[in-house]
Amino acid sequence: MHAEEDEPPTRRVIIVTAVHGPSAAFLPDAHKSLREQALPAGWEWHWVIQEDGQTDEVLPYVPDDARVTFRQGRPGGPGVARTIALAHAEGEYVKILDADDQLTPGVLARDLAVLEADRGLGWTTSRVLDLLPDGTTAGFPGDPDDGPIERGAVLDYWTANDFRAQVHPATLCVRRDLLLALGGWMALPASEDTGLLLALNSVSRGWFSAQVGLLYRKWEGQATGQSAHLDPAERQARMAVAEARARALGSFGWRHPSGR
């Protein structure tokens, strides 16, 4: 028997990115941040980039890397793009990476270490720094302590603090089966990632790492800076349905993993 036949199969963490034309130019920076990740022995990453649309604007920026899968689809917003990307997410864990953001060195290994050590944890998040246009970074006050986040804690904080969560959904790493069980991202024009975070926290304990895991780019074209995103009537509606979903999930008594 050859030595390589005794080696365990490689396991994968899938990086999922939704992208549209205006943010495509940031993909090389995101790719660089992925290439700088050091994973534990026996692990590899695979990056699924899903264009929210079918244009010629994104492909020129997609890295020439065998670990990258690029797909296109009719536009439906970032939540739709990420959810349909799960068709190509053949791995145990799904890590979110927005096209204009960057992972910090070591974050994938930390996420995997937490989730592998405790089956009772369904997801992880980490500290975020804003990446400003001049290249400097800025942090936020009020991060929780490094450690577990109990079920319902995110919703409680969110409702008490003008619909702002204490952990950032753009840093999520989640068990793929749990993500699929919840239907992926919410069918909302924005805040679809916050809606998913609230749903995850309704049925599963999570984890927050106080080490910086993401550089969140601030730039003029980002979706969260557009006027439609700030429309008060739409925001109120988004928050209402995200909260209602989370509370409904919590009321059913289903927990991940089963029996806990």
Assign 102 a pLDDT band (cuts: 50, 70, 90): very high
Label the pairing between strands 137-138 and 121-131: antiparallel
The predicted-structure confidence for 6-65, as pLDDT tens digits, reads as follows 567 799 999 999 999 999 999 999 999 999 999 999 999 999 999 999 999 999 999 999
pTM of the model: 0.92
* Residue 208 DSSP class: E
Whole-angstrom distance, CA of residue 112 vs CA of residue 175: 10
- Average confidence (pLDDT) over 100-109: 98
Nearest C-alpha neighbor of 197 from the set 179, 212, 215: 179
Angle at 192 between CA 139 and CA 236, to 5 degrees: 90
Q: Which residues contact 96 (CB under 8 A, 6 or more apart)?
A: 15, 16, 17, 82, 169, 170, 171, 172, 173, 193
SS3 58: coil
Alpha helices in 161-231, H assignment, sequence order = 176-181, 192-203, 227-230
Q: Tokens representing 23?
A: 């943010």
Whole-angstrom distance, CA of residue 173 vs CA of residue 113: 11
Q: Say whether the peptide bond before residue 22 is cis (omega within 30 degrees of 0).
A: no
The predicted-structure confidence for 124-168, as pLDDT tens digits, reads as follows 999 999 999 999 999 988 899 999 999 999 999 999 999 999 999
Block residue for tokens 């992208």: 19
The predicted-structure confidence for 207-247, as pLDDT tens digits, reads as follows 999 999 999 999 886 555 555 657 899 999 999 999 999 99
pLDDT of 223 reads 59
Q: Is the pLDDT of residue 3 over 50?
A: no
Whole-angstrom distance, CA of residue 147 vs CA of residue 209: 7
Given a contact cutoff of 8 angstroms between Cβ atoms, the answer to whether 55 and 25 are in contact is: no
Given a contact cutoff of 8 angstroms between Cβ atoms, the answer to whether 69 and 31 are in contact is: no
Whole-angstrom distance, CA of residue 146 vs CA of residue 149: 9
Instruction: Give φ, ψ of 86 to 5 degrees.
Output: -65, -15
pLDDT of 6 reads 58
Q: How far is CA 52 from the centre of its chain?
A: 16
Whole-angstrom distance, CA of residue 131 vs CA of residue 139: 9
Whole-angstrom distance, CA of residue 2 vs CA of residue 236: 62
Paired with 174 in beta bridges are 94, 123
Per-position DSSP letters for 127-141, written without gaps between them: EEEEE-TTS-EE--S
Please compute, for residue 32, the number of CA atoms within 13 A of its CA located in the half-sphere on the CB side.
Answer: 10
Q: Is the pLDDT of residue 176 over 60?
A: yes
